[in-house]
Structure 1
Amino acid sequence: TKERIFEPFFTTKEMGRGTGLGLATVYGIIKNHDGFINVYSEKGEGTTFTIYLPASEKEVVKERMISDEILKGAETILLVDDEDMIIEVGREMLKAVGYKVLIARSGQEAIAIYRKKQDKIDMVILDMVMPYISGGETYNRLKEINPRIKVLLSSGYSIDGQASEILDRGCNGFIQKPFNIKGLSRKIREILDS
């Protein structure tokens, strides 16, 4: 198992409880930053991941910018992701900045919830890679229900490729995982206030 944990789509979870992309995404992000990751695991004790990244040669700027502010809201957001960690962290971030949060763990569930509660949902945060129905297909179906739907696409992959195709079809924005509360709050306000 340890030898395969960074392979895309490898998972020890039951079918439908994760895509097996979490650690593959982490590995990809670390490699893109010229870093590496070590894994130490002991049965019955747990696992430790140690990440090594090269130090930046750029000068540290201590200037506070307006864009660093956490922007709050009170709207209702449907958060769609098949990874439990993203759901839990995302829900807490959104609640912390004032939003009401509905959760869907699959494209099918998102479509069903949106169909039932679209008049109460102001925006959807949609994972791009999910089992059964992809984020792109889910987006198309949501757009059929409401052509003016506001959607923020999220992915551990870069905006190139499939994400840019979905954006070209009218999706309102993109945020790369892992995201932080400042970046997420800013993207949400950009979309809701447009």
Structure 2
Amino acid sequence: MSPETRGYTVLIVEDEDTLRQACSDVLDAFGYRVLLAANGEEAVQVVRAQGEQIDCVLLDLTMPGMNGAAAYAQMRKIKPDLRVLVTSGHDVEDALRHFPKGSAFEYIQKPYSIYELHRRLQELLTSPASSNEA
């Protein structure tokens, strides 16, 4: 367990069951509290119900139904200061095209290592709230 991550809650939004569970297991081992959502609609419901407890969202961009960009917009309406780490197999320029200009989030491209994920989450969670822009 990492002292820098103990107590932080991360919502993992990923439509691939195996990847969602693997991320959950890894983040749990690093000391994060983990919430799960299989799609954008579930993510919005979780943020609506537990938003005050969520410190960060690991958000897949490409999902059936409500995609990551649409879920991001809805979650930020509920919790405007929500920190988001968007993930996708697309490069960052392609991912940015899905979001309105000025959207505040960080980006990590799939595939990523567990250590890279942990490092990026640590940076996002410990940075000033206004500086987390892509």
Q: TM-score, normalised by structure 1?
A: 0.60
Q: Which one of the candidate residues 131, 146, 149 is aligned to 2:82?
A: 149
SS in structure 2 of the partner of residue 174 of structure 1: strand
Work out which of the two has the higher radius of gyration on C-alpha atoms and give 1 or 2: 1
Moved over 4 A (4+): none
2:131 match:
none
Letter in 2 for 1:116: A
More helix by share: 2
Count the aligned residue pairs.
Answer: 125
Q: Which one of the candidate residues 51, 54, 74 is aligned to 1:118?
A: 51
Q: Does 1:94 align with 2:24?
A: no
Letter in 1 for 2:77: E
Q: Matched residues in 1 for 2:100 and 2:89: separation?
A: 16
Q: Matched residues in 1 for 2:71 and 2:60: separation?
A: 9
Letter in 1 for 2:125: L
Deviates most, 138-147 or 167-176: 167-176
Q: Matched residues in 1 for 2:39 and 2:12: separation?
A: 10
SS in structure 2 of the partner of residue 126 of structure 1: strand
Q: CA deviation at 1:165?
A: 4.8
Q: Percent identity?
A: 34
* RMSD, aligned CA: 1.8
Q: Is the 8 A contact 1:79 1:124 kept in 2?
A: yes
Q: CA deviation at 1:89?
A: 1.1
Q: CA, structure 1 residues 189+118, in 2 after alignment: closer, same or farther (shift >3 Å)?
A: same
Higher RCO (CA 8 Å, separation ≥ 6 residues)? 2
Letter in 1 for 2:65: Y
Unmatched tracts of structure 2, length 5 or more: 128-134
Letter in 2 for 1:114: V
Q: CA deviation at 1:172?
A: 2.2
Q: TM-score, normalised by structure 2?
A: 0.86
Q: CA deviation at 1:132?
A: 0.7
Q: Is the 8 A contact 1:152 1:171 kept in 2?
A: no
